[in-house]
Structure 1
Amino acid sequence: MRAAVYHGPEDIRVEDVEDPELDSPRGAVVRVTHTAVCGSDLWFYRGRSDRDAPSPVGHEPMGIVEEVGEKVRSVEPGDRVFAPFVISCGSCEYCRKGLHTSCVNGDSWGGDNGGAQGELVRCPHADGTLVRVPDRHADDEDTLEALLPLTDVMGTGHHAAVNAGVEAGSTCAVVGDGAVGLCGVLAARRLGAERIIAVGHHEDRLEIAEEFGATDLVTERGEEAIERVNEMTKGGVNHVLECVGATSAMETATGVCRPGGTVGYVGVPHGMGDGLDLHEFFGNNISLRGGVAPVRAYADELMADVLQGTLDPSPVFTKTVDLDGVPEGYAAMDDREAVKVLVKP
């Protein structure tokens, strides 16, 4: 098969690799029809995180089941499925409590399972990982593109909103205007927030935030952003979604959080410990909740809203490429020319 492979910083190549083959009675092989480039992929693309080279890339697959093991019960060949960015067994202690990202039998996409930015993937735990799309929606392209963000960014934005304690009638701030931050805005609106303040720096992205339900847009940075939000809200907000992962973003999040409030953080940490002052949390009794999002725990409820037409995160895809265009997709996201790239192998 053909797949995107990492060969080093800024070096993604689409090349021939071995087909992943079924090797477990609980596994499945899926032919990928839709996938994406994620903002977290840019860390290794920019050389700012370690990754083996060469190695297949991608972690947001959707496709058609081609083969299943004899013990698989939830899907069968021909089914349309999508998969969260972490593989989970669905039956261990942590999966049962909805923390699939801590699955004791868990795995990541990549290695010899094919990655997800390629033609095929192997899932070793089909029942615990794959989410089946009802047949009546399996070929509706608009619906499929709205479902694809549930593999990562929509579930992650939802995790931020849930952990920040967003509820009906609340006021919240979302720090970050990447795909996760934009989905955080959408999640906050879904949970009933009355006022949603989007903090970002890119006009085109903030336009999407407004489309998704942001009531206020803040384009200032650093201390100026903190002052602006606090002025608008007369002292800050009780619910903050941190969707970047940088120390500066966390400082903004704590700076706009009212004493006794909560920061829900989902930004992949990058230098988060470098100079981050915990005094703000301690002195103002600010709670910090979040982490890597167990998107499998949210997939079914979010899919139900997509299928009934009340949730559509697909506008985060601002560029579409085929498999050969994956290197171009990485470059576009790295250059801030795309919010998130949709890949149709």
Structure 2
Amino acid sequence: MVQSTMKETRRGVVMLGKSKLEVKDFPIPTPGHGQVRLKVKASTLCGSDLNLIYRKESWPEGPGKYCSVVAGHEPCGIIDQVGEGTDGFVPGDRCIVYHINGCGVCHDCRMGWHISCTGKSRKAYGYQRDGGHSDYIIADIQNLVKMPDFLSYIDGAMVACGVGTAFAACLRAQVSGRDRVLVTGLGPVGMCIALVARASGAEVYGVELIPERRKLAEGLGFKLVDSNRAAIDEVTDGKGFEVCFDASGNRHARHFCLEAARQWGRVVYVGEGSTVEFSPSPMLLHKQITLHGSWVCNMAQMEDLVELLARWKLHPDVLVTHRYKIEEAERAYELFDAGKTGKVAFVWDDEE
């Protein structure tokens, strides 16, 4: 059980719904058995939080209910205190927090897929237990991934969800240097997919309508195409893309991925929400398309990812367009909610 001391306080963001939030003072907690306390160095904002806890007017009962805890499920920091039973972790370790604490005994947890945990004790950081939008966070060691020195704390925060999600999706599609890849929706997750796919050797194209996000993608060297068959034929010699990812959740973009995929191609739906309608025979069966759904990543994939990012010399923090202090949370979320930015991050003075 986590105990708290009232001698010092920490700042933390709590969501109120209806696009409102509050920055409050909390006691600085003490880690219990199997837990550590991290001094948070970076905590990035995620699009899923906008619908689920920022704009939400009421939270339905159930395992996914937001419990008015400190928000933020993409934290990264440095251990400053450990509890008992934390072999392998010591003060000074730089760590990423995987944002789901599963029951540990269901089949998905045993495979490292805490995100898909079916146990009643499943708790998400920033939803049912305190998350990363705070000066300190308590984390269970089963949720920690040590970070190589090459990566910045913002890199690590992005790995906690966005880049991890992109990596799992690329693994699902087996992206390699043999592929031409299309990504529809170049928000933060879509751009993470583009970065990982390119680092994996693929030739990457994107579809995006928002000018600010188009500019970011082009500045990072990605090629943009229009969402029509003529544009696809021009860049693929009339064959279509080996792999198409939809990161937008838009029904038209999802359908276009099926259109743009070549015979025997692979399509991965990553973006949340909305719907899609298509005729299975011409769009899926006759083209021999493999269609995947991909949701976040597992613990082993996250550990592999931080190693690969160092080997690739790839800093995901190139996608961060705005950085704020925790006291500026209201401004940060208002900007991010407008949907025109890259990644938005809370950082602390000594982030590096």
Aligned-residue offset at 1:154:
1.2
TM-score (norm 1): 0.84
Q: Percent identity?
A: 27
**Does the 8 Å contact 2:17/2:58 carry over to 1?**
no
- Please list the CA deviations of residues 254-312 of structure 1 after superposition, one character each: whole Å capped at 9, or x if unmatched: 121123211122212x123xx52352334433222232121533223322243356211
Shift of 1:186: 0.8
Task: Please state if 1:217 is matched with 2:256.
Answer: no
**How many Å separate the matches in 2 of 1:49 and 1:160?**
31
For 2:307, the aligned partner's letter is A
Could you tell me how far 1:212 is from its partner in structure 2?
A: 4.4
The partner residue of 2:88 within 74, 77, 91 is 74
2:304 aligned with 1:338, yes or no? no
Partner of 2:133: 117
Matched, 1:236 2:240: yes
Measured at CA, do residues 252 and 243 of structure 1 come closer, stay the same or move farther in structure 2, by a change above 3 Å?
same
Query: Contact between 1:8 and 1:53, CA under 8 Å: does it hold in 2?
Result: no
Q: Secondary structure at the match of 1:292?
A: coil
| Alignment-mate amino acid for residue 217 of structure 1 | L
| Alpha-carbon distance between aligned partners in 2 of 1:295 and 1:228, rounded to the nearest angstrom | 36
Deviation digits for residues 174-199 of structure 1 (CA, Å, limit 9, x no counterpart): 11110111111111111111x21111
The alpha-carbon distance between structure 1 residues 131 and 309, as it changes in their structure 2 partners (threshold 3 A), is: same
Distance 2:198 2:104 in 1: 29
Residue 189 of structure 2 aligns to a residue in which SS? helix
Structure 1 position 15, deviation (Å):
1.2
Summarize the alignment of residues 311-326 of structure 1 with structure 2, pairs less than 5 Å apart: 311-326=314-329
Q: Distance in 2 between matches of 1:178 and 1:112?
A: 26
Change (3 A) 1:327 1:121: same
Any idea what SS the aligned residue of 1:285 has?
coil
- Structure 1 residue 41 corresponds to structure 2 residue 49: yes
- Could you tell me how far apart the structure 2 residues matched to 1:158 and 1:112 are? 26
Deviates more, 1:229-238 or 1:322-331: 229-238
Rounded Cα–Cα distance in structure 2 between residues aligned with 1:170 and 1:250: 19
Gaps of 5+ in 1: none
Corresponding residue for 2:71? 57
> 1:1-345 counterparts in 2 under 5 A?
1-23=10-32, 25-44=33-52, 45-47=54-56, 50=59, 52=66, 54-88=68-102, 93-103=107-117, 104=119, 106-111=122-127, 113-123=129-139, 125-126=140-141, 128-134=142-148, 137=149, 143-193=152-202, 195-214=203-222, 216-218=223-225, 220=226, 224-233=227-236, 234-268=238-272, 270-272=273-275, 275-277=276-278, 279=280, 280-308=283-311, 310-345=313-348
**Partner amino acid for 2:245?**
L
Query: Residue type matched to 2:21 in 1?
Result: I
**Is the alpha carbon distance of 1:89 and 1:47 closer, same or farther for their aligned partners in structure 2, counting shifts above 3 Å?**
closer
Tell me the distance in 1 between the aligned counterparts of 2:338 and 2:20. 15
Q: Cα distance 1:112–1:335, how it changes in 2: closer, same or farther (>3 A)?
A: closer
Gaps of 5+ in 2: 1-9, 60-64
Q: In structure 2, what is the Cα distance between the partners aligned to 1:157 and 1:246?
A: 17
CA deviation digits over 1:105-148, x for unaligned, max 9? 6431135632211122222x31x2111235xx3xx8x7333333
Query: CA 1:120–1:251 in 2, change beyond 3 Å: closer, same or farther?
Result: same
With over 3 angstroms needed to count, the CA separation of the structure-2 counterparts of 1:9 and 1:240, relative to structure 1, is same
Distance in 1 (alpha carbons) for counterparts of 2:182 and 2:69: 37
SS of the equivalent of 1:113 reads coil
In structure 2, relative to structure 1, the CA distance for the partners of 1:52 and 1:189 (3 Å cut) is closer
Task: Return the alpha-carbon distance in structure 1 between the equivalents of residues 36 and 315 of structure 2.
Answer: 28
What count of residue pairs does the alignment treat as equivalent?
328
Q: Deviations over 1:87-122 (max 9, x none)?
A: 357786434535342245643113563221112222
- Single out whichever of 259-268 and 82-91 deviates more from structure 2: 82-91
- Give yes or no for contact 2:11–2:24 (8 Å, CA) kept in 1: yes
